[in-house]
Structures are given as structure tokens and as C-alpha cells.
């Protein structure tokens, strides 16, 4: 079975994990959590464990940066889905 790239669909996709807070959560609390994650992901030992034990590449994005990533990812997935002939 050919890959998407082999079918001429220029796309990269990866699993993304995020932490979300309920609507109405005070920004101060969101910032505390985001700062803790950002600080944790500066720890080389933790980064090595995530990469070696889980096969993931840590990439910290917060707030608007993460929203932009999610929006762009959704657009790429929708574009790929539009190019698939599901009837074949």
C-alpha cells in the first residue's frame, strides 16, 4: 500500500498531545500549568525518557502557538481527506 507522499499528497503528520483547561479557567492558573510543562521539558533526562521510552519528540507550544499548530494540522488533514477517493 503506497504512503500518502507516494500518492502525491505532500503531507507530514504526527501524533500530538496537549493539555487543555475548562472554559473560564483563570489565565493565571493556565500560565502556572504551562510554565511547569515548559520547565519540565527543559530537563534533559526527561526529554531522553520521552524520546527513548515513548518514541516521541517533545515540542512545547503554549497558548496561541499551540492553537495555530492545531488549526494548521486540521487544515492539512482536511486537505488530505479531500484528495482521497473513498469509493475506490
Walking along the chain (88 residues) 10 residues at a time, the average pLDDT comes out as: 84 80 96 96 96 92 93 87 78
**CA atoms of 53 and 26, how far apart (whole Å):** 34
Q: Is 6 part of any domain? A: no
Domain residue limits at 57: 27-82
Residue 13: predicted pLDDT: 65
Q: Please tell me the total count of domains within the chain.
A: 1
Identify whether the C-beta of residue 15 lies closer than 8 Å to the C-beta of residue 50.
no
Q: Is 20 part of any domain? A: no
Residue 68: predicted pLDDT: 95
Q: Is 56 part of any domain? A: yes
Q: Is 19 part of any domain? A: no
Amino acid at each position: 500500500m503506497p504512503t500518502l507522499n507516494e500518492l502525491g499528497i505532500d503531507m507530514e503528520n504526527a501524533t500530538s498531545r496537549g493539555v487543555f483547561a475548562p472554559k473560564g479557567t483563570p489565565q493565571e492558573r493556565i500560565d502556572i500549568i504551562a510554565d511547569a510543562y515548559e520547565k519540565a521539558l527543559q530537563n534533559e533526562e526527561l526529554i531522553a525518557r520521552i524520546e527513548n521510552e515513548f518514541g516521541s519528540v517533545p515540542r512545547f507550544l503554549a497558548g496561541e502557538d499551540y492553537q495555530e499548530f492545531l488549526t494548521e494540522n486540521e487544515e492539512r488533514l482536511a486537505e488530505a481527506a479531500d484528495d482521497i477517493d473513498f469509493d475506490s
